[in-house]
Amino acid sequence: MYNGAKMDKDTIEQFVTNSKRVGNANTLISKNEFLASFRQDDYEYVYIPAFNYYKKILIDKNGIKKAIVESNLAIAETGTVVIDNNDETLRRSTSLAEELNIVVLSSSIVSFLENSNELLNNLTKKDHAYITFITGASRTADIELVLAMGVHGPLRVNIIIITDA
């Protein structure tokens, strides 16, 4: 989790706008609403350290249907989330889940990438650092420009912004 200054409403709105542009579903929800409605059994893999929610499973090359993970940072200018994927199972969940749900604490949203230099420097100093930037569901096109979804990552990305965490 990024411990930056509390983000203003405009920064959150900019993040949501840019996240929607790449096809993500976005939900703004209060911490209390999230805690009251969250059901771990709805997901095969859960990694939400801010609320001490964890559910690990073995994820092989066949992937999983549904995962929910917490981002370390979100960048409003691009609608991108950043996840410290040093853990192999976490890394697999973000790339092999058909539906990836990402919890973003509103306090972790920065306006621009350069506002995250300190956090990114700290994350990349770790041995075997593996930082993932996710802007939307996986998309690729063949030579005839036929678009395929979910080939190299999630088919769907849902962003859940916790507004008062």
Return d(Cα 29, Cα 54) in angstroms, integer. Answer: 20
Strands 64-70 and 97-105 turn out to be parallel
Q: Is the pLDDT of residue 148 over 60?
A: no
Does residue 53 or residue 143 have the better pLDDT?
A: 53
Q: Smallest Cα–Cα separation from 81: which of 135, 28, 27?
A: 135
Q: What are the Cα distances from residue 62, in Å, to 8, 39, 90, 91?
A: 40, 24, 15, 14
Q: Whole-prediction pTM value?
A: 0.86
Close Cβ partners of 94 (under 8 Å, ≥ 6 residues apart): 67, 69, 83, 85, 100, 132, 134, 153, 154
What are the pLDDT digits (tens) for 76-100? 999 999 999 888 899 999 988 999 9
Q: Which range has the worst mean pLDDT, 6-15, 30-39, 153-162?
A: 6-15
Q: Is the pLDDT of residue 154 over 90?
A: no
